[in-house]
Amino acid sequence: MTDYLKYYDLEHYLLEEVGPRFRSSGAIEPIDLFMILIWKANRAKTKIRDKLKKQANGNFSDAVGQIAAALSKAEDRKERFGILMGDWGLRLPMASAILTILYPEDFTVYDRRVCDMLHFPYKDWLFSEECWSEYESYKAAVCKNTPPSLSLRDRDRFLWGQSFWEAAKRDAQ
């Protein structure tokens, strides 16, 4: 019997099961990539799925297999970044979310709330050398503005939580 409880905390499932499984096998199940889409942007999940399907001749499973194979063969972070943004046309927030789940020590989610906390200009990037450079600057700012004892993922959560708390405090008045 499937343990459906593990899907209740989707981020935990993605970070503790999907990411490690990918790093050991080089494979991603289509349902798991779709769950990453839900985790990052539930409202846009089918639009992004359909975009990926279109690039793989109408088959989401084929798109996921091609993405997984390319990411596992990639030699560095920049190449992985380019695969999702350049080859597959994903925008920076979604590409960074996928890479954060698959490589949590190397990537952090590019997020509007976190950008606001960092006073970092949020842009809806397409892939370019400038985009990569800006993402690296964003990641450095995340690290610089959070407690050094935290993991990269927790640094992102810290800033998101700070933004959430400040907005709630403002709205509660």
d(CA 7, CA 157): 19
Model confidence pLDDT, tens digit, residues 99-119: 999 999 999 999 999 999 999
* Domain extent at residue 51: 4-171
Model confidence pLDDT, tens digit, residues 26-63: 999 999 999 999 999 999 999 999 999 999 999 999 99
The pTM (predicted TM-score) of the whole model is: 0.95
Cβ atoms of 35 and 10 closer than 8 Å: yes
Q: Domain tally for the chain? A: 1
